[in-house]
Chains A and B, each alone.
Chain A
Amino acid sequence: AQTVTQSQPEMSVQEAETVTLSCTYDTSESDYYLFWYKQPPSRQMILVIRQEAYKQQNATENRFSVNFQKAAKSFSLKISDSQLGDAAMYFCAYRSDNQGGKLIFGQGTELSVKP
Chain B
Amino acid sequence: DAGITQSPRHKVTETGTPVTLRCHQTENHRYMYWYRQDPGHGLRLIHYSYGVKDTDKGEVSDGYSVSRSKTEDFLLTLESATSSQTSVYFCATGGPSGGETQYFGPGTRLLVL
Residue numbers of A with Cβ under 8 A of B are: 4, 6, 33, 35, 37, 42-47, 50, 52, 91, 93, 95-98, 100-108
Contact at B90–A45, with CB atoms within 8 Å?
yes
Interface majority SS on B: helix, strand, loop or mixed?
strand
Residue numbers of B with Cβ under 8 A of A are: 1, 31, 33, 35, 40-45, 48, 50, 56, 58, 88, 90, 92, 94, 98-104, 106-107
Contact at A108–B42, with CB atoms within 8 Å?
yes
Q: Which residue of chain A is the closest to B100 with respect to CB atoms?
A: A101
Q: Which residue of chain A is the closest to B40 with respect to CB atoms?
A: A107
Apart from A42-B106, A97-B98, A100-B48, list 11 A-B contacts with CB within 8 A. Answer: A4-B42, A52-B99, A95-B98, A96-B98, A100-B31, A101-B31, A102-B33, A102-B45, A103-B45, A104-B45, A105-B42
The listed residue (A50, A102, A107) touching B41 by CB distance below 8 A is A107
Contact at B50–A100, with CB atoms within 8 Å?
yes
Contact at A98–B98, with CB atoms within 8 Å?
yes
Contact at B43–A103, with CB atoms within 8 Å?
yes
Known: A107-B40, A107-B41, A107-B42. A102 touches B106 (CB 8 A): no
Give CA–CA (A35, B102) in the complex, Å.
10
Known: A45-B104, A52-B99. A101 touches B41 (CB 8 A): no
Known: A100-B56, A105-B42. A50 touches B101 (CB 8 A): yes
